Protein backbone atom coordinates (compact mmCIF):
# COMPACT_ATOMS: atom_id res chain seq x y z
CA UNK A 1 0.00 0.00 0.00
CA UNK A 2 2.90 2.35 0.78
CA UNK A 3 1.09 4.83 3.06
CA UNK A 4 1.49 4.56 6.81
CA UNK A 5 -1.82 4.82 8.66
CA UNK A 6 -2.08 6.14 12.21
CA UNK A 7 -5.25 6.26 14.29
CA UNK A 8 -5.02 8.98 16.92
CA UNK A 9 -7.57 10.30 19.40
CA UNK A 10 -7.60 11.86 22.87
CA UNK A 11 -10.54 9.72 24.02
CA UNK A 12 -9.45 6.52 25.80
CA UNK A 13 -12.61 4.64 24.84
CA UNK A 14 -11.97 5.31 21.13
CA UNK A 15 -8.37 4.14 21.38
CA UNK A 16 -9.45 0.98 23.19
CA UNK A 17 -12.12 0.25 20.55
CA UNK A 18 -9.50 0.62 17.80
CA UNK A 19 -7.09 -1.70 19.59
CA UNK A 20 -9.79 -4.34 19.77
CA UNK A 21 -11.02 -3.94 16.20
CA UNK A 22 -7.57 -3.58 14.55
CA UNK A 23 -6.02 -6.43 16.54
CA UNK A 24 -4.99 -8.19 13.33
CA UNK A 25 -3.52 -5.05 11.76
CA UNK A 26 -0.13 -4.56 13.45
CA UNK A 27 0.92 -2.30 10.57
CA UNK A 28 -1.35 0.43 11.94
CA UNK A 29 -0.17 2.74 14.72
CA UNK A 30 -2.82 3.42 17.35
CA UNK A 31 -2.01 6.44 19.49
CA UNK A 32 -3.72 8.11 22.43
CA UNK A 33 -3.11 11.83 22.17
CA UNK A 34 -3.27 14.97 20.06
CA UNK A 35 -3.65 14.18 16.36
CA UNK A 36 -1.98 17.46 15.42
CA UNK A 37 1.19 16.32 17.15
CA UNK A 38 1.37 12.79 15.75
CA UNK A 39 3.93 13.68 13.07
CA UNK A 40 2.03 12.42 10.02
CA UNK A 41 2.16 14.08 6.59
CA UNK A 42 -1.63 14.35 6.39
CA UNK A 43 -4.31 14.78 9.05
CA UNK A 44 -7.96 13.94 8.39
CA UNK A 45 -10.47 16.60 9.46
CA UNK A 46 -14.06 15.25 9.48
CA UNK A 47 -16.55 18.06 9.09
CA UNK A 48 -19.87 19.07 7.55
CA UNK A 49 -20.85 19.31 3.90
CA UNK A 50 -20.52 23.09 3.75
CA UNK A 51 -17.10 23.61 5.30
CA UNK A 52 -18.09 25.49 8.45
CA UNK A 53 -15.45 24.90 11.14
CA UNK A 54 -17.93 25.16 13.95
CA UNK A 55 -17.08 22.44 16.46
CA UNK A 56 -14.87 19.53 17.40
CA UNK A 57 -11.70 18.75 15.50
CA UNK A 58 -12.50 21.07 12.61
CA UNK A 59 -12.80 24.01 15.03
CA UNK A 60 -9.47 23.00 16.58
CA UNK A 61 -7.93 22.91 13.09
CA UNK A 62 -9.14 26.47 12.55
CA UNK A 63 -7.52 27.57 15.79
CA UNK A 64 -4.19 25.97 14.83
CA UNK A 65 -4.04 26.84 11.14
CA UNK A 66 -5.96 30.10 11.29
CA UNK A 67 -9.62 30.57 10.46
CA UNK A 68 -8.72 31.51 6.91
CA UNK A 69 -8.78 27.72 6.60
CA UNK A 70 -12.57 27.88 6.59
CA UNK A 71 -12.52 30.18 3.58
CA UNK A 72 -10.14 27.84 1.75
CA UNK A 73 -12.39 24.85 2.42
CA UNK A 74 -15.63 26.64 1.57
CA UNK A 75 -14.22 28.11 -1.63
CA UNK A 76 -13.07 24.65 -2.72
CA UNK A 77 -16.51 23.21 -1.99
CA UNK A 78 -18.17 25.98 -4.00
CA UNK A 79 -15.82 25.71 -6.98
CA UNK A 80 -15.42 21.93 -7.20
CA UNK A 81 -18.53 20.43 -5.58
CA UNK A 82 -21.34 22.87 -6.51
CA UNK A 83 -21.53 24.20 -2.98
CA UNK A 84 -22.03 20.94 -1.09
CA UNK A 85 -19.53 18.20 -0.26
CA UNK A 86 -21.57 15.01 -0.02
CA UNK A 87 -21.00 12.71 2.94
CA UNK A 88 -18.02 10.51 2.09
CA UNK A 89 -16.39 13.00 -0.28
CA UNK A 90 -13.12 14.66 0.62
CA UNK A 91 -10.13 16.56 -0.71
CA UNK A 92 -6.54 17.36 0.19
CA UNK A 93 -5.40 20.85 1.24
CA UNK A 94 -1.66 21.63 1.12
CA UNK A 95 -0.63 23.37 4.34
CA UNK A 96 3.04 24.23 4.39
CA UNK A 97 3.00 26.98 1.77
CA UNK A 98 -0.51 28.35 2.36
CA UNK A 99 -1.08 28.37 6.08
CA UNK A 100 0.96 29.30 9.13
CA UNK A 101 0.69 26.42 11.55
CA UNK A 102 2.09 24.97 14.73
CA UNK A 103 1.65 21.45 13.36
CA UNK A 104 4.21 19.43 11.42
CA UNK A 105 1.66 18.09 8.94
CA UNK A 106 1.95 19.13 5.30
CA UNK A 107 -1.62 18.34 4.27
CA UNK A 108 -5.10 18.40 5.71
CA UNK A 109 -7.71 16.04 4.34
CA UNK A 110 -11.14 17.61 4.75
CA UNK A 111 -13.92 15.03 4.49
CA UNK A 112 -17.66 15.34 4.99
CA UNK A 113 -18.85 13.14 7.87
CA UNK A 114 -22.34 14.67 8.11
CA UNK A 115 -24.33 17.08 5.98
CA UNK A 116 -24.89 19.40 8.93
CA UNK A 117 -23.79 18.99 12.57
CA UNK A 118 -25.99 16.21 13.95
CA UNK A 119 -26.09 12.83 15.67
CA UNK A 120 -24.82 10.21 13.19
CA UNK A 121 -25.30 7.11 15.35
CA UNK A 122 -27.07 4.47 13.27
CA UNK A 123 -25.52 5.72 10.02
CA UNK A 124 -22.60 4.53 7.89
CA UNK A 125 -20.96 7.95 8.05
CA UNK A 126 -17.75 6.87 9.81
CA UNK A 127 -17.15 4.28 7.10
CA UNK A 128 -18.02 6.70 4.31
CA UNK A 129 -15.81 9.47 5.72
CA UNK A 130 -12.84 7.17 6.32
CA UNK A 131 -13.19 5.72 2.84
CA UNK A 132 -13.42 9.25 1.43
CA UNK A 133 -10.22 10.24 3.20
CA UNK A 134 -8.36 7.24 1.79
CA UNK A 135 -9.67 7.98 -1.69
CA UNK A 136 -8.63 11.64 -1.38
CA UNK A 137 -4.98 10.77 -0.75
CA UNK A 138 -5.08 8.47 -3.78
CA UNK A 139 -5.96 11.36 -6.09
CA UNK A 140 -3.48 13.39 -8.19
CA UNK A 141 -1.77 16.05 -6.11
CA UNK A 142 -1.25 13.86 -3.06
CA UNK A 143 1.44 11.60 -4.48
CA UNK A 144 4.01 12.50 -1.83
CA UNK A 145 1.75 11.72 1.14
CA UNK A 146 3.53 8.91 2.95
CA UNK A 147 1.56 8.89 6.22
CA UNK A 148 -1.95 9.81 7.29
CA UNK A 149 -3.63 10.19 10.69
CA UNK A 150 -7.35 9.69 11.29
CA UNK A 151 -9.39 10.55 14.41
CA UNK A 152 -12.34 8.64 15.85
CA UNK A 153 -14.83 9.86 13.25
CA UNK A 154 -18.18 10.87 14.73
CA UNK A 155 -17.34 9.84 18.29
CA UNK A 156 -17.51 13.32 19.79
CA UNK A 157 -20.65 15.44 19.66
CA UNK A 158 -21.92 13.43 16.67
CA UNK A 159 -22.80 10.56 19.00
CA UNK A 160 -21.40 7.47 17.29
CA UNK A 161 -20.30 4.79 19.80
CA UNK A 162 -16.55 4.11 19.57
CA UNK A 163 -17.12 0.41 18.91
CA UNK A 164 -19.29 1.10 15.86
CA UNK A 165 -16.90 3.77 14.62
CA UNK A 166 -13.97 1.35 14.93
CA UNK A 167 -15.84 -1.36 13.03
CA UNK A 168 -16.70 1.02 10.19
CA UNK A 169 -13.20 2.49 10.01
CA UNK A 170 -11.65 -0.96 9.88
CA UNK A 171 -13.88 -1.93 6.97
CA UNK A 172 -12.86 1.25 5.13
CA UNK A 173 -9.20 0.50 5.81
CA UNK A 174 -9.58 -3.12 4.66
CA UNK A 175 -10.91 -1.94 1.30
CA UNK A 176 -8.17 0.69 1.03
CA UNK A 177 -5.53 -1.94 1.79
CA UNK A 178 -6.96 -4.27 -0.86
CA UNK A 179 -8.06 -6.95 1.58
CA UNK A 180 -11.77 -6.84 0.84
CA UNK A 181 -13.73 -6.27 -2.32
CA UNK A 182 -16.64 -3.93 -2.41
CA UNK A 183 -19.00 -6.91 -2.49
CA UNK A 184 -20.99 -5.30 -5.28
CA UNK A 185 -21.57 -8.60 -7.08
CA UNK A 186 -24.37 -9.51 -4.69
CA UNK A 187 -26.96 -7.03 -3.40
CA UNK A 188 -28.01 -9.35 -0.59
CA UNK A 189 -24.47 -9.47 0.77
CA UNK A 190 -24.18 -5.70 0.48
CA UNK A 191 -27.37 -5.25 2.50
CA UNK A 192 -26.20 -7.66 5.19
CA UNK A 193 -22.84 -5.93 5.41
CA UNK A 194 -24.51 -2.54 5.76
CA UNK A 195 -26.71 -3.74 8.63
CA UNK A 196 -23.68 -5.27 10.34
CA UNK A 197 -21.67 -2.06 10.09
CA UNK A 198 -24.45 -0.09 11.77
CA UNK A 199 -24.78 -2.25 14.87
CA UNK A 200 -22.70 -2.72 18.00
CA UNK A 201 -20.15 -5.54 17.53
CA UNK A 202 -20.00 -8.51 19.83
CA UNK A 203 -17.27 -8.35 22.46
CA UNK A 204 -14.17 -10.36 21.47
CA UNK A 205 -13.54 -13.71 23.13
CA UNK A 206 -10.72 -13.43 25.64
CA UNK A 207 -9.86 -17.11 25.45
CA UNK A 208 -10.58 -19.70 22.79
CA UNK A 209 -11.22 -23.27 24.01
CA UNK A 210 -8.97 -25.94 22.56
CA UNK A 211 -10.26 -27.25 19.26
CA UNK A 212 -12.29 -24.14 18.51
CA UNK A 213 -11.33 -21.29 16.20
CA UNK A 214 -12.06 -17.86 17.60
CA UNK A 215 -12.73 -15.35 14.86
CA UNK A 216 -13.27 -11.66 15.31
CA UNK A 217 -16.52 -10.36 13.88
CA UNK A 218 -15.71 -7.90 11.08
Residue 7 and residue 134: Cα distance in Å, rounded?
13
- Residues in CB range of 203: below 8 A, 6 or more apart: none
Question: So what's the pLDDT on residue 168?
Answer: 97
Domain residues for 87?
4-198
Query: E strand or H helix at 56, and its extent?
Result: helix 56-65
Residue 212 domain flag: no
Reference 111, options 43, 172, 56; nearest CA is 43
Can you give the pTM of this predicted structure? 0.88
Contact indicator for 59, 53 with CB cutoff of 8 Å: yes
- Residues in CB range of 199: below 8 A, 6 or more apart: 164
Q: For 58-127, what is the HEC assignment? A: HHHHHHHHCCHHHHHHHHHHHHHHCCCCCCCCEEEEECCCCCCCCCCCCEEEEEEEECCCCCCCCCCHHH
The number of CA neighbours under 13 Å toward the Cβ of 165 is 28
Q: For 138-159, what is the HEC assignment? A: CCCCCCCCCEEEECCCCCCCCC
Question: So what's the pLDDT on residue 51?
Answer: 96
Q: In this structure, what CATH number is given to the domain that contains residue 65?
A: 3.40.220.10
- Work out the angle at residue 50's Cα, subtended by the Cα atoms of residues 47 and 51, and round it to the nearest 5 degrees: 55
Residue 46 domain flag: yes
Residue 170 domain flag: yes
Residue 52 and residue 74: Cα distance in Å, rounded?
7
Residue 162 domain flag: yes
Q: How does residue 205 score in pLDDT terms, banded at 50, 70 and 90?
A: low
211 has pLDDT over 50: no
Query: End-to-end alpha-carbon separation of the chain, Å?
Result: 21
Residue 215 domain flag: no
User: How much of the chain exceeds pLDDT 70, in percent?
Assistant: 86
82 has pLDDT over 70: yes
58 has pLDDT over 70: yes
Residue 209 domain flag: no
Number of domains the chain is built from: 1
Mean pLDDT, range 105-133, rounded to an integer: 95
Mean pLDDT lowest among 4-13, 151-160, 202-211 = 202-211
pLDDT in tens, 145-202: 999 999 999 999 899 999 999 999 999 999 998 866 555 677 888 888 889 898 888 7
Mean pLDDT, range 62-86, rounded to an integer: 94
Residue 113 domain flag: yes
Mean pLDDT, range 99-121, rounded to an integer: 85
Amino acid sequence: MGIKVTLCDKKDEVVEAWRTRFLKNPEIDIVAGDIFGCGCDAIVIPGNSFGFLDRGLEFEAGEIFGFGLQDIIRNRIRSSYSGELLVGQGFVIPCEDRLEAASACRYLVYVSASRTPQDINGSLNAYLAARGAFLAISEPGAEDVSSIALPGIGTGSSGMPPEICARQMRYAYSIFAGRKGYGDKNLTRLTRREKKLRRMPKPPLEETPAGESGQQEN
